[in-house]
């Protein structure tokens, strides 16, 4: 059976012990059977084939899937299940009006959502035609489909005959009779036309006797296949001559063979190895059960001592295909074991991009023989000897050579003119430049971009520069594009190449803006010229050839004397510069990120670095008076200060914009009036807070775990109106002065957990005015006035609290709720009639060490929202009853632990019949007497972990759970573990 989280066909563990093992996200075993996707079922009737759908790329938009349905018929059943299934694997899905303002008709917002969606899933139920809203949406969907055939409509005939839909017969006939009396004829006709078209389409017919899970799996499989196919449609419009390379490599991969195969692509830098590998990867990805592209391996190993572990994490995460999946790996050995358990059972395509002699395949990924037969590996390298050593010298080699003259001209012209050929009057110049570049794609692209829209005289000057470069050093032509930049753009590019690859754009921009540069202007220019890229994570990316070029330019400032260069990033050179006090006014940036192991750094070492604007060092010991030593420092990162008792004083902070002193010391200095970002987290030696700038410059403050402040210390928040993040967790303050939290209108994250402060309640009094606040953490009970959480911002998405009263009715955007260490709370669930039930997005509730009173024996048990996926109730000793669980169809994990007075769990068996629950733990609840009905007959094919320990009542029939992988039974009161003998029947248990 496949693990619901990683899809691995695995044996399992049986635990008969009095100790409850913490919930594990994935199984850890493997078998010899290649698995299917965990959510993909076998085909069912009426399912549209993927080949019948449009093979062009899907339209781009905010949503990938739009669900059109009648809420009362299917919202909390079929449609709700489908939405959560798609959401769990990161498929962006629009569901009804959750993203619209209340009361809005099918206006611009909804129209835009429909137009920008890629796939329309139309759930046609018996009462669907009664809803004008549904019919309006459907008419718009059909209109979009007719206008752009790339849109895809997937109909589901839910308890309704497709004939009735197509001909508006049966239940649809009566609805249309009503519409014809109340609506304009042309409107009704457009609805009939839309239903007729959809009724003719191939889809799914769900009957009363059908298992909904089979249909859901079929729909999910189709949507996933369409989106994966679309994701693998790489835009090759700017690629030239790629087809022959792809064809040759595909032949070498021998896809028809069941054997493991490796292909190594080699050639010099900039020739297109990575581009070719990525194109093959996107073209062939659908042929494999999983795929992963591990890029820039050589660079990562140069700058990160834990690069092997990070590569392992990336590989495992790609295979998991789970939303918000994170994994912890403490050693390379542990990573290899996880890869063997979770990755190797799949037939997988892996690209290892840009490896050198430092990369050890076996050390990082384990034995090649462990991978499933049919798996393929594509490896790129500049070094043919490295590739030859892979797979016991059986790696098939493919060399990428320069483009021929015709293809070179075509590629160059695409970037210079936006066309396949040169514009009139530029033919001769274009051909001469292309001839000199000698077929190197990266150079053709960069030089072409640099000449775009320039005058002929500019082209002639560029050609003259290129002609001076020897053919064997043609990659140096890249420098021409750099030299054409203005001074500011050049300096920003050099900073990125030497210091900021993989770093956040915004933090770097703070520094550039402060020294008079214009990053908002220059960064887009660098992107346009193909010199840099910005990833989806807002971090800088640079091609390794361009990175090396930038660093070479800096080295040329002084070949023999690093201390005469503008930037020093090499550890050995940085240490020598400081140790021998060789600094100069030329040095603008110094990076000593790795631990400095040779003594202390005193102020004398920095005497000659008066122009330094960027300094980063980890694990160093500083001391001395730095008065007027670093007057121009803008960005300072000094983490993990080593030696207690020696501290630097009088740092010049008047020009500082970013300061990171995590786990370091009390920095004796003047006020940093320009500061944008301040991180003092974990500074245990800090006894007084620094003076914060009151000019409104600060956007982020982290004071978490600053645990040794003097008893009289106050935090003045006056003038911090631009603050976006404020972390005050685990801090002791006398007071917060200078105003209230409500003045920080831009605040998005606020953490006041375990904050000790005399006037916290007063400070939080107007917290409801924080209209941008998304995350709030507070472990202190709020004031009487604030106990109604409805007074908190309705923008909240994550809330962790110890407040005695939690009223959820206004928090429609809330996704995660944690109530901990609260001894007199009442979790107020809105009534079933409240609109909150339809609009709530709550996914996760955790109650820990809390005397909850969310139900009573004298009143009907309230219900929790059906959107819930995780419900954990731990150490809630006074609770006797819980809300009924029967409506939690989407619940994945349920844990009820150490609830000593709990007597009943209503709706548990019905919950188990929903076939979504993966983990169930009930432990240390000795008064629980009616967990399961004796002899209850039902089948749950999804449950994989079951823990029943120290609780009363009957244990369920274990044969009800054919997919179990982990089972723990201990100290069951009442019906003992007589069913253990049935374990021999389980093939999933080991």
Instruction: Look at residues 402, 335, 623 and name the one whose alpha carbon lies nearest to residue 327.
Output: 335
Cα–Cα dist 451/434, whole Å: 12
Q: Note the pLDDT of residue 26.
A: 32
Cα–Cα dist 395/824, whole Å: 67
Residue 44 three-state SS? coil
Q: Which two tokens stand for residue 152?
A: 């895809």
Cα–Cα dist 453/476, whole Å: 23
pLDDT in tens, 97-126: 543 333 435 567 788 888 888 899 999 999
Instruction: Look at residues 133, 393, 165 and name the one whose alpha carbon lies nearest to residue 264.
Output: 393
Cα–Cα dist 802/793, whole Å: 17
Under 8 Å between Cβ of 68 and 121: yes
Q: Note the pLDDT of residue 97.
A: 53
**At residue 173, what are phi and psi to the nearest 5 degrees?**
-65, -45
Q: Note the pLDDT of residue 830.
A: 54
From the list 64, 104, 130, 137, the catalytic residue is 137
Give the strand order in the sheet containing 622-625. 601-602, 622-625, 648-651, 668-669
C-beta neighbour count of 626 within 10 angstroms: 22
For residue 508, the number of C-alpha atoms closer than 13 Å in the C-beta half-sphere is: 24
Residues with Cβ within 8 Å of residue 820, at least 6 apart in sequence: 779, 800, 801, 802, 846, 847, 848, 849, 850
Which residue, chain included where needed, has tokens 């998991």?
320
Under 8 Å between Cβ of 622 and 646: yes
Q: What is the 3-state secondary structure (H, E, C) of 183-218?
A: CCHHHHHHHHHHHHHHHHCCCEEECCCCCHHHHHHH
pLDDT in tens, 492-518: 999 999 999 888 888 899 999 999 999
- pLDDT averages per 10-residue partition of the chain, 990 residues: 32 31 30 32 40 46 85 87 81 68 55 88 94 91 86 92 92 92 90 92 86 83 73 62 89 91 87 90 84 88 83 86 65 92 90 92 92 94 85 83 88 89 92 87 88 91 84 75 90 94 88 93 87 83 84 90 90 85 90 66 86 87 82 86 67 84 70 84 83 80 88 86 89 86 87 86 82 84 46 85 68 85 59 62 84 48 77 77 82 86 82 83 80 62 81 72 76 49 44
Cα–Cα dist 356/30, whole Å: 31
Angle between helices 108-116 and 132-147 (to 10 degrees): 50
Under 8 Å between Cβ of 254 and 291: no
Q: Note the pLDDT of residue 855.
A: 45
Q: Note the pLDDT of residue 366.
A: 92
Q: Note the pLDDT of residue 586.
A: 92
Instruction: Say what the alpha-carbon torsion angle 213, 218, 222, 225 is, to the nearest 10 degrees.
Output: 80
Judge whether 573 counts as a catalytic residue: no
Handedness of CA 977, 981, 987, 990 (dihedral sign): positive
Which residue, chain included where needed, has tokens 């020897």?
470
Radius of gyration of the chain (CA): 32
User: Buried b vs exposed e over 650-682: b needs ≥16 C-beta within 10 Å?
Assistant: bbbbebbbbbbbbbbbbbebeebebbbbbbbbb
Q: Note the pLDDT of residue 583.
A: 82
Cα–Cα dist 184/959, whole Å: 58
Q: Note the pLDDT of residue 877.
A: 60
**At residue 346, what are phi and psi to the nearest 5 degrees?**
-90, 145
* Residue 944 CA, distance from chain mean position: 26
Q: Note the pLDDT of residue 615.
A: 92
Cα–Cα dist 412/688, whole Å: 60
Burial of 575 (0-12, 13-18, 19+ CB in 10 A): middle
Q: Note the pLDDT of residue 198.
A: 92
Helical spans, DSSP H, in 345-486: 361-365, 384-388, 405-416, 427-437, 441-451, 456-467, 478-483
């Amino acid at each position: 059976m496949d693990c619901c989280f990683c899809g691995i066909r695995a044996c399992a563990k049986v635990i008969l012990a009095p100790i409850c093992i913490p919930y594990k996200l994935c199984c850890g075993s493997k078998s010899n059977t290649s698995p299917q996707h965990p959510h993909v079922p076998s085909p069912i009737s009426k399912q549209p084939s993927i080949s019948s759908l449009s093979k062009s790329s899907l339209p781009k938009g905010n949503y990938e899937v739009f669900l059109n349905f009648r809420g009362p018929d299917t919202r909390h059943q079929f449609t709700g299940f489908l939405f959560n299934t798609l959401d769990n694997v990161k498929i962006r899905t629009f569901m009804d009006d959750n993203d619209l303002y209340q009361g809005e008709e099918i206006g611009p917002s909804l129209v835009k959502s429909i137009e920008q969606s890629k796939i329309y899933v139309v759930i046609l139920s018996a009462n669907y035609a009664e809803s004008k809203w549904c019919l309006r949406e459907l008419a718009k969907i059909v209109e979009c489909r007719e206008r752009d055939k790339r849109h895809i409509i997937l109909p589901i005939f839910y308890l309704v005959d497709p004939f009735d839909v197509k001909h508006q017969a049966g239940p649809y006939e009566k609805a249309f009779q009503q519409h014809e009396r109340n609506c304009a004829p042309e409107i009704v006709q457009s609805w009939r036309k839309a239903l007729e078209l959809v009724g003719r389409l191939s889809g799914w017919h769900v009957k009363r006797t059908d298992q909904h899970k089979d249909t859901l799996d079929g729909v999910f499989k189709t949507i996933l296949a369409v989106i994966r196919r679309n994701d693998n449609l790489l835009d090759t419009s700017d690629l030239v001559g790629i087809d022959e390379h792809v064809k040759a490599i595909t032949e070498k991969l021998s896809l028809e063979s069941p054997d493991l195969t490796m292909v190594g692509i080699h050639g010099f830098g900039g020739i297109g190895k990575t581009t070719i590998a990525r194109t093959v990867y996107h073209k062939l990805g659908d042929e494999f059960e999983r795929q992963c592209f591990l890029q820039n391996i050589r660079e990562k190993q140069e700058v990160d001592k834990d690069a092997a572990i990070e590569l392992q994490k990336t590989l495992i995460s790609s295979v998991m295909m789970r939303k918000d999946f994170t994994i912890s790996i403490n050693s390379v050995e542990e990573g290899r074991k996880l890869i063997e358990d979770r990755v190797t059972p799949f037939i997988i395509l892996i690209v290892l991009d840009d490896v050198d002699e430092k990369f050890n395949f076996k050390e990082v990924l384990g034995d090649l023989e462990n991978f499933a037969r049919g798996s393929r590996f594509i490896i790129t390298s500049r070094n043919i000897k490295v590739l030859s050593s892979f797979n016991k010298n059986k790696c098939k080699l493919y060399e990428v050579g320069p483009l021929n003259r015709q293809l070179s001209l075509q590629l160059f012209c695409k970037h210079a003119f936006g066309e396949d050929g040169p514009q009139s009057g530029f033919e001769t110049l274009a051909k001469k430049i292309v001839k000199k570049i000698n077929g190197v794609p990266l150079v053709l692209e960069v030089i072409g971009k640099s000449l775009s829209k320039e005058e002929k005289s500019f082209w002639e000057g560029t050609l003259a520069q290129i002609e001076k470069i020897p053919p064997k050093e043609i990659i140096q032509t890249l420098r021409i594009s750099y030299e054409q930049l203005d001074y500011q753009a050049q300096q920003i590019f050099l900073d990125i190449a030497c210091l900021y690859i993989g770093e956040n754009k915004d933090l770097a921009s703070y520094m550039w803006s402060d020294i008079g540069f214009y990053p908002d202007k220059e960064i887009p220019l660098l992107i346009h010229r193909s010199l840099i890229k910005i990833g989806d994570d807002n971090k800088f990316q640079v091609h390794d050839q361009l990175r090396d070029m930038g660093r070479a330019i800096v080295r040329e400032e002084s070949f023999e004397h690093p201390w005469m260069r503008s930037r020093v990033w090499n550890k050995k050179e940085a240490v020598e510069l400081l140790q021998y006090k060789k600094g100069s006014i030329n040095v603008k940036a110094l990076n000593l990120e790795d631990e400095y192991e040779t003594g202390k750094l005193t102020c004398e070492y920095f005497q000659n670095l008066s122009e330094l604007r960027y300094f980063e060092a980890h694990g160093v010991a500083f001391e001395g008076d730095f008065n007027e030593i670093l007057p121009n420092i803008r960005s300072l990162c000094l983490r993990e200060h080593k030696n207690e008792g020696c501290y630097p004083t009088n740092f010049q902070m008047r020009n500082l914009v970013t300061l990171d002193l995590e786990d370091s010391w009390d920095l004796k200095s003047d006020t940093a009036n320009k500061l944008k970002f301040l991180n003092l987290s974990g500074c245990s030696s800090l006894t007084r807070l620094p003076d914060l700038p009151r000019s409104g410059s600060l956007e982020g403050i982290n004071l978490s775990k600053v645990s040794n402040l003097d008893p009289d210390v106050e935090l003045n928040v006056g003038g911090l109106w631009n603050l976006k993040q404020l972390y005050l967790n685990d801090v002791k303050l006398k007071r917060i002065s200078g105003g209230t939290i409500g003045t920080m209108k831009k605040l998005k994250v606020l953490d006041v957990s375990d904050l000790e402060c005399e006037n916290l309640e007063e400070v939080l009094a107007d917290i409801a005015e924080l209209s941008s606040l998304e995350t709030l953490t507070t472990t202190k009970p709020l004031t009487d006035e604030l106990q109604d959480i409805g007074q908190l911002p309705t923008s909240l998405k994550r809330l962790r609290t110890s407040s005695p009263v939690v009223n959820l009715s206004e928090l429609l955007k809330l996704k995660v709720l944690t109530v901990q260490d609260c001894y007199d709370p009442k979790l107020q669930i809105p009534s079933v009639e409240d609109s909150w039930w339809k609009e709530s997005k709550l996914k996760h509730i955790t109650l820990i060490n809390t005397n909850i009173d969310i139900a009573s024996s004298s009143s009907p048990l309230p219900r929790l929202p059906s959107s819930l996926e995780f419900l954990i109730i731990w150490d809630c000793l006074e609770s006797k009853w819980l809300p009924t669980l029967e409506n939690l169809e989407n619940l994945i994990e349920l844990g009820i632990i150490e609830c000593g007075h709990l007597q009943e769990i209503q709706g548990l068996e019905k919950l188990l019949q929903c076939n979504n629950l993966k983990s169930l733990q009930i432990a240390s609840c000795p008064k629980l007497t009616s967990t399961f009905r004796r002899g209850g007959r039902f089948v749950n094919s999804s449950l994989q972990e079951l823990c029943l320990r120290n609780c009363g009542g009957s244990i369920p029939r274990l044969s009800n759970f054919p997919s179990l992988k982990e089972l723990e039974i201990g100290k069951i009161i009442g019906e003992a573990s007589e069913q253990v003998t049935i374990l021999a029947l389980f093939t999933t248990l080991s």
